[in-house]
Amino acid sequence: MTGNGQQPDPFGAEPFAAQPFGAQPPAVGAAYPGAPPTAPSFGDEIEADVEYERGLAVKALLSIALVALVLVLRVAFFG
């Protein structure tokens, strides 16, 4: 705690002062600090998740349509 009761700024005046000599700040657009350059960005992850869930929704609708078709055929042929 500081003298006025506030928490100290964890980054201080020099945000990379605690880094070893020669360390570089994180790259702009990195997925997280220290991420390799090939790591997908947050936006890429969200886009991939949305595509995955859209595929699940399509599969669910096709499954419901198949069940409805089977019910219609059963009622039509077996009364």
What is the spatial distance between Cα 47 and Cα 56, in angstroms, rounded to a whole number? 14
Tokens linked to 51: 């595509």
What is the average pLDDT score of the chain? 78
Q: Note the pTM of the prediction, 2 decimals.
A: 0.51
Sole residue written with tokens 């006025």: 4
Ranges 27-31, 42-46, 66-70: which has the least confidence = 27-31
The pLDDT, as a whole number, for residue 73 is 96
Say whether pLDDT at 12 is over 60: no
User: How large is the average pLDDT for residues 75-79?
Assistant: 90
What pLDDT is stored for residue 1 in this prediction?
54
**Band of residue 30 on the pLDDT scale cut at 50, 70, 90:** low
User: What φ, ψ does residue 37 adopt, rounded to 5°?
Assistant: -60, -25
Q: Which helix (H) or strand (E) element contains residue 52?
A: helix 42-78
